[in-house]
Structure 1
Amino acid sequence: MAPEASARRSGRGLTAPLLALCATLPTLPLVMGYWGALHPAFDALVHFRIHLAAVVVLAGLPLLLFQGWRRIGLTAMVLGLTAIATTLALPIRDVQAWARVEPANGARYRLLQLNLRYDNRTPKQVLSLIGRVEPDVITLEEVSAMWREEIALLRHAYPHQIICPPPTPVGGVAILSRRPFLHPSRAQCLDRGALAIATVNFGGTAVDVAALHLGWPWPFEQPWQIPRVSAALQQLSETAILAGDLNAVPWSITARRIAAAGGLARLEAIGPSWLARPLPNALRRTVGLPIDNILVKGRLVPLDTRRLDDVGSDHLPVLLEFSVQPDTAPREMMQARLRQ
């Protein structure tokens, strides 16, 4: 047999084992991600559940063409597709179902959530976006010294503000509002500027608005930050919104613990909003991580969420439209909607 033919046959013989290796190795971190309640190291893996599952499916598919390897390929594909389907179909909250709910008093409000990126080189794009969208309230993260100067330009349009002193050069969080703060002296910065809470008057209804920026997952500071933040979130009033960069996907144990601490429901339909800067911006909406989260409770009714255009940050802006049910709304009806 010619050496070239032997080499080609040897290469073909290695194809199936290599594909099987690519299909099986990612299943280890994929499965370990479901053990997040046992240790934060496992919860850190859950952020890449969709990506790992996609690799398993794509590597398993060509194995169906190789006799003797089809069972491995089929098993890998079933495991990967099941992980994707169950994660994306979590019934915690479907915002689109809320879009049919009409505001009782006709009032619709807007909240803009954005991690500014502390060293954003295009701050004017952010200011332009705010001018076009005209949100009622804005929650911001990574408000660095540079951003404090830019935000000063918004003082006339957003006279009610709380800007937390930055614990590091990355910056703290901030809440800007067109609508007045109730009890302004009670607006507070917590956890070294990573959490801000203010009570905002929406048409005569008091709504606690919180801006939160969690640290990176294990082995970084996030697991140790959660107990401190949770203690503050337990004090939120009956109707509240929490928005921010949780550095955690909605299906993580971290996001669940934050939601449980405040008695909040997570909005699941926002979609990917963050991608590391070296990667193309065009991929952010498809393969990015959905770590910019919004959570609500009480009489607040989400009507729509959408990601807006890139403004120079490594995060996309997220816009929430919502209404606030009046006090006369039957409590049973509101609880039923929260369970949808």
Structure 2
Amino acid sequence: MLDIGLGVIAAVLLIATLVPFLHIRYWWVRGFDFPRLQLASLAVVVGAAHWLWGTADWRWWSIAACIAVAVIQAAHILPWTPLWPKPVRTATSNREMRYLTLMVSNVLTPNRNAQGLLEQIHEHQPEIVLTLESDDWWGEQLEASLGEEWPHSVRIPLDNLYGMHLYSRIPLEETEVKWLIQSDIPSIHTWLRMPCGARIRFHALHPRPPAPSESEQSLWRDAELLLVGKGIHRHEQPTLLAGDLNDVAWSRTTRRFCRVSGMLDPRLGRGMFSTFHASYPLIRWPLDHIFISEHFTLVNMQRLKAFGSDHFPIIATLCYRPARADENETPEADREERREAAETIDKARKEGDGEA
């Protein structure tokens, strides 16, 4: 009975590992991109258990399946561990005029522990604060606490879980709120005026996820991310992109976004910085992201304390060093990836009701 049970689990793990190789956008397929660390860990446990306590002659097939699962999953998540080289260089400059600290937090609309977040904002003093899922109530709490010290803001209070608030100590210029792919999903596009005089392009996104209660397919999420990514690549300016992308760092879409846009993930070679789910330590993955162009180096990055939301806040301090741009390893998409990205965007434009 033990052999059968472990064999069944091994088979399920192998199927769950192979499903994401299907280039299908349905949520139940794309969902298997998320728990790669959990699947790899479970495969190691099941394989070891079957080796130690199994008696059936066929148990080696089960063990082989577990090894295959662990290897495939590890290949996907290994870049987000300290074992991998860091494509984003660590900052060496101490010129604070070139430093920029950005904090991102999905607040969870019904969560009412605003004080837990606001205390962390005041403790860490970021130049930029971006909140997601913030409605009118959250907007009032943020404005009352941040309005004076962070005088530049973009406020989009919504009760559909896609509200956004952006607060900044430094000037925001040429700010636009766009509804790119769907008419109820906003995004913020602005310029940050650094104390050193440089202008930094900034994009804030929170696309709709593929989930039973949201969307059957990942089309809307994928298209919004790739659309903004194409624009970033076209203009080749110092750029930051942040938000809850409802996708993990190692997914096919997120990796394609980095190659299409040329943006860098500062977590590579440093850690996963998993931000969701704050209440379940064994079921966590990185959904909240900060991507940077090659013009930046990283001072530090950390996940902050839980405050009642299902997401942890994440914060990064960056150094604007365009002179070191050549030291960063910029990803690049091939012709086939650009063609597939264009097809995804065109399909979403035809089926969506956004501005793009």
Q: TM-score range by the shorter chain?
A: 0.7 to 0.9
The equivalent position to 1:109 in structure 2, one of 100, 108, 127, is 100
Equivalent residue, structure 1, for 2:192:
200
The equivalent position to 1:53 in structure 2, one of 26, 30, 40, is 40
Q: How much does 1:272 deviate? A: 1.5
Check 1:216–1:228 CA distance in 2 against 1; reply closer, same or farther (3 A cut).
Answer: closer
Q: Deviations over 1:120-168 (max 9, x none)?
A: 12111111111111001112100111111111111111111112242x4
Aligned-partner Cα distance in 2 for 1:231–1:17: 48
Equivalent residue, structure 2, for 1:75:
64
Counterpart residue type for residue 199 of structure 2: A
Q: Deviations over 1:207-230 (max 9, x none)?
A: 112221122225643422432453
Aligned-partner Cα distance in 2 for 1:88–1:315: 20
Q: Secondary structure at the match of 2:10?
A: helix
Q: Secondary structure at the match of 1:303?
A: strand
**Contact preservation (8 Å) 1:23, 1:55:** no
Q: Deviations over 1:271-322 (max 9, x none)?
A: 221117xxxx3x43x5312111111113122222110111111100101011
Q: How much does 1:178 deviate? A: 0.2
Structure 2 residues not aligned, in runs of 5+: 332-356
Counterpart residue type for residue 164 of structure 1: I
RCO greater where, 1 or 2, for CA within 8 Å and sep 6 or more?
2
Equivalent residue, structure 1, for 2:219:
223
Q: Deviations over 1:41-69 (max 9, x none)?
A: 43221112222232222222111132324
Verify: 1:287 aligned to 2:278, yes or no: no
TM-score if structure 2 supplies the norm length?
0.79
Equivalent residue, structure 2, for 1:130:
121
For residues 133-148 of structure 1, what are the structure 2 equivalents within 5 Å? 133-148=124-139
Q: How much does 1:95 deviate? A: 8.7
**Contact preservation (8 Å) 1:92, 1:266:** no
Corresponding pairs, count? 312
Equivalent residue, structure 2, for 1:251:
250
Q: Pairwise CA RMSD of aligned residues?
A: 2.7
Verify: 1:86 aligned to 2:75, yes or no: yes
Structure 1 residues not aligned, in runs of 5+: 1-13
The farther-off stretch of 241-250 and 78-87 is: 78-87
Q: Secondary structure at the match of 1:335?
A: helix
Equivalent residue, structure 2, for 1:301:
297
Q: How much does 1:187 deviate? A: 3.2
Counterpart residue type for residue 192 of structure 2: V
Q: Secondary structure at the match of 1:175?
A: strand
**Contact preservation (8 Å) 1:159, 1:178:** yes
The share of aligned pairs that are identical, in percent, is: 20
**Contact preservation (8 Å) 2:207, 2:220:** no
Equivalent residue, structure 2, for 1:188:
177
The equivalent position to 2:276 in structure 1, one of 257, 274, 277, is 274
TM-score if structure 1 supplies the norm length?
0.82
Structure possessing the higher radius of gyration over alpha carbons: 1
Check 1:104–1:239 CA distance in 2 against 1; reply closer, same or farther (3 A cut).
Answer: farther
The farther-off stretch of 224-233 and 58-67 is: 224-233
Q: How much does 1:112 deviate? A: 0.5
Counterpart residue type for residue 314 of structure 1: D
Aligned-partner Cα distance in 2 for 1:207–1:95: 26
Check 1:25–1:193 CA distance in 2 against 1; reply closer, same or farther (3 A cut).
Answer: closer
Q: Secondary structure at the match of 2:35?
A: helix
Q: How much does 1:233 deviate? A: 4.3
Check 1:264–1:100 CA distance in 2 against 1; reply closer, same or farther (3 A cut).
Answer: closer
